[in-house]
Amino acid sequence: MSVRVRYAPSPTGSPHVGNIRTALYDFLLARHFGGVNVLRIEDTDRARLIPGCEDDIVESLHWLGMDWQEGPDRGGPFAPYRQSERKEAGIYDGWIQVLLERGDAYKAFETPEELAEMREYQQINKLPEGYFGGVWRDASPSQVEAAEREGKQGVVRLRVPRGRTIVLQDAIRGRIEFDSDTIDDPVLLKADGMPTYHLAAMVDDHLMEITHVIRGEEWIASAPKHIALFEALGWTPPEFVHVPVIKGTDGKKLSKRHGDTAVLDFRPAGYLPEALANFIALIGWSPGGNRELMSMDELAEAFTLDGLQPSSGVFDREKLDWMNGHYIRELDSEGLFERVVALAASPETSEYWSREDHASTGVGLKFAHLSEAARSEPEYAREAVVLLRERATTLADFAPACEFFFVEDPSMDPKAVEKWLRLDHVPGLFEDMMTALQGRDRVSVEECEALLRDWAAAHGFEKLGPIVHPIRVALTGSTVGPGLFELMALLGPRRMCHRLQEARKIA
């Protein structure tokens, strides 16, 4: 099957999970069939453009491992690939003229006030809302000429045929029928001469020979307008694929509180691109069986439209964290350390963790400590990161989890201090440990375990808990963390003696 798809975002905001999923499905479908993936920038809505958003779009795609064969940055047989440039090249003007000459489009000259009055009338009388012709759908040429002579600002609208059934053959939902009498006449060309999505996207899809249009199900209501336009121009529509919305685990439409944030925000938050791409691909698509953890190559090999689901996909942050944790543990030690250090050193990370909604976590400062340790004691920092690998779900977890390794005096949990450092045997335990460690350059994991077990046996402790918990709190400030004997060996005698001495003061 010959496949040409397009990801056609508007640079009005940085890509979020929903629209980046569309880009991913385009990419996977093209890869699966050995087709062509096109990046097209739909920037005709000049009032809503945000500087830098096109760069964010490209960066998001690259970060997640997606590529394209034609686009603004690399050209192609149907260039240009920005709609503003295509408009300037006059690509849309000819088709508007064809539609006007055939009577499939018409000029309309209502003022904004008249349109508002029309909508109010429809609402009050519980009529279908939209523009169904007004006085201009059937206006005579002389009426149009008179309006233009008077300098009235007009738009060009599609004349949706009346009294017939418009059929959408959707790849996910099958046949959907629309009564054309309920479909309003959309604007094709705005008063400022800019084409709307209804015109530009459909003309571009035809001229760029797009075979499949993957887009959100919110466009189903507009699909009959687009089919009517294709038919008016005598073109065969592409196959429409309307993917369902993404919801949170509470069943409500995805919002920022569910994690619907800019895709690039997942990078400083510590998510791996391969994990995020894997996760997003499975929101509304199934490869069959129980497969979940899949590389991009595996996703492309398995991806077909048959696996797309008609029901809403769910953004489950817990599943993303589980998946990301798996990918972290799949990294080799050096690869993991390189990624953590790169994240810690990135200005993007500093900016993200200094935002108002993240600053209180203190993660930014902890990343700074990690970066300094990576510069001054790279081997020590690498071993600390690797030691925490099993407990991390994001790369950002390493900053607070490793903090006690990289500061002279870790912050103490008051409850842990009260519970474990006030026990009667603790001062003697700390004194004996400092004595045993004094003058040593290093100590092995096995030696650390033997020190604690021997002290417990010598002092009549059958269980090791009353021994290991006070030591852990003294060394890390917390009751949780990686294996105690391993972290003791990594801290080394000097650091342990200093921390035991400080803890002895409050024991």
Contacts of 106 (CB under 8 A, 6+ apart): 100, 136, 137, 139, 144, 156, 157, 159
Strand partners, 177: 167
Do residues 389 and 327 lie in contact, with contact meaning Cβ atoms separated by under 8 Å?
no
CA pair distance 331, 326, nearest whole angstrom:
9
Do residues 209 and 238 lie in contact, with contact meaning Cβ atoms separated by under 8 Å?
no
Strand partners, 157: 106, 187
CA pair distance 128, 125, nearest whole angstrom:
9
Backbone angles phi, psi at 146, to 5 degrees: -65, -40
First to last CA, the chain: 74
Cis status of the peptide bond prior to 80, with omega within 30 of 0: yes
Residues with catalytic annotation? 256
Contacts of 49 (CB under 8 A, 6+ apart): 11, 12, 43
Tokens 């942050």, located at residue: 317
Do residues 219 and 242 lie in contact, with contact meaning Cβ atoms separated by under 8 Å?
yes
Considering only CA atoms, which of 460, 404, 410, 456 is closest in space to residue 432?
456
